[in-house]
Structure 1
Amino acid sequence: MNHDIRSANRRSTVLWVLLLAATVFTWAVGEGGSGGAAIAALLLGVAALKGAAVILDFMALARAPLLWQLITLGWLVLVCALIGLAYWKGMP
């Protein structure tokens, strides 16, 4: 059992570091200030992947019933789609 706990801790730590790296990446790209819709879509995609990782791993919904996974991931997709739509509608 001790091995399982260490393995889970290692997995969470690696995922946490990847999430930090993705955050630094999106910040750096966003600070660039140029790129238009393609960069915005990339940043929104990275944010969606980060959200899915948090939902499934840190909220421990990867082993939850499918309905809970669909509700939470569906909410994430809806929010990302609305942000993308708002960005697209606001483009000149």
Structure 2
Amino acid sequence: GGAIGAFLELTSQAQVFLVTEHLPRPPRPINLTIDYLRQGHAKDLYARAEITKMGRRMCSVRAEAWQDERSKPVTTLMAHFMVSGD
């Protein structure tokens, strides 16, 4: 479970970093909520993150990971990231 949670956190951070311009440092997590919905198996895992709200100082992100079918997520994540140094 921890590896999948870390994978979703990194996917979310990468998405925030890709859509923001000139961040002085990588986005820092403020809080994470991870829901484990199904058992993960020893096979390929895919993930997608979507920014639900982008502010000047923080960003809200939703992400999900799946294996065989995207419509059956294994794990979901809701997170807030600090995107400014203020």
Q: TM-score, normalised by structure 2?
A: 0.33
- Point out the structure with the larger helix share: 1
Query: Which structure is richer in relative contact order (CA contacts within 8 A, separation 6 or more)?
Result: 2
Q: Which has the larger radius of gyration?
A: 1
- Point out the structure with the larger strand share: 2
Q: TM-score, normalised by structure 1?
A: 0.31
